[in-house]
Amino acid sequence: MPDPDLQESQDPGLAKTGLATPDSAPQGDAPSPPERLSPGKVWLHRLSVLLFVFVCAAAGVLLVILPWTQQWSDNVWLFRYPALQTVVSNGFVRGLCSGFGLLDIWIGFSEAIHYHEEKKA
């Protein structure tokens, strides 16, 4: 049989469903409404997302194409290190860099697709 003192202290709607317990959180700690963003902050956020997507796309395309060109393995910096030139010319390393480029493109466009703004109250 339910305790009548316990049911009197509970919200009547919660007592019917059996969801309220004596250990319930106090009612005064309700979550605060989301803070309204100023138009300047919204546009700054939009521009930062746009810049992030652009940088990811540009770096990704560069990493996909550049390893398969002659400039990748025959450049001034690698002439001083022939062993490193051999490693960089390896097909596995080129494919790995191109894979990172595709991943970078995917991250950038995924960020653009999943972009959302806070709803204004």
What's the number of domains the chain is made of?
1
81: in domain: yes
7: in domain: no
- pLDDT at residue 51, rounded to an integer: 96
- pLDDT at residue 75, rounded to an integer: 87
pTM of the shown model: 0.62
- pLDDT at residue 96, rounded to an integer: 97
- What's the gap between Cα 105 and its chain centre? 14
- pLDDT at residue 23, rounded to an integer: 56
31: in domain: no
- pLDDT at residue 48, rounded to an integer: 92
Which structural domain range is residue 90 located in?
37-116
Q: What is the DSSP string of 50-88?
A: HHHHHHHHHHHHHHHHGGGSHHHHSSHHHHT-HHHHHHH
- pLDDT at residue 13, rounded to an integer: 54
2: in domain: no
Helix (H, G, I), strand (E, B) or coil at 26: coil
- pLDDT at residue 115, rounded to an integer: 85
103: in domain: yes
- What's the gap between Cα 44 and its chain centre? 17
The pLDDT profile of the chain, 121 residues, written as one tens digit per residue, is: 555 555 555 555 555 555 555 555 556 566 666 667 788 888 998 999 999 999 999 999 999 999 999 999 888 888 899 899 999 999 999 999 999 999 999 999 999 998 877 665 5
32: in domain: no
